[in-house]
Structure 1
């Protein structure tokens, strides 16, 4: 290991805006099973699918019917 490192030519991480934040969320069992079934079909993880779906809703400005 070096005593000192030169970071003068370093660049900012372009993925820093894409970092995820861990939270707790209560979901209906049926909802989880739905996304798990989609995950089995697609090969993706069910949590990734839920995140993708919610991100798409947010990007489109969708709101629940009761609002």
Structure 2
């Protein structure tokens, strides 16, 4: 390793301004397993896959219809 690195000509990471917030969310085991299996197939972290899936829901304005039985 060098003693000193010169970053004066460096470029700012274009993805650094993306707003991501760390949260805690409760998910069923089968949901986590589903996305973890997908992560193994794609080589992408499962958290990223979940995020992309939810972003797609936002972009497509998908709404979940929930009906509770009496």
Establish whether TM, by shorter chain, passes 0.5. yes
Shift of 1:65: 1.6
Q: Which has the higher contact order (CA 8 A, sep 6+)?
A: 1
More helix by share: 1
Equivalent position of 1:30 in the other structure: 30
Decide whether aligned partners of structure 1 residues 45 and 14 sit closer, same or farther in structure 2, where only a CA change above 3 A counts.
closer
Give the TM-score taking structure 2 as reference length: 0.70
Any gaps of 5 or more consecutive residues in structure 1?
Answer: 1-12
Count of paired positions: 55
Provide runs of 4+ in structure 1 moved above 3 Å.
none
RMSD in angstroms over aligned alpha carbons?
Answer: 2.0
SS class of match (2:50): helix
Q: For residues 14 and 46 of structure 2, what CA distance do their matches in structure 1 show?
A: 26
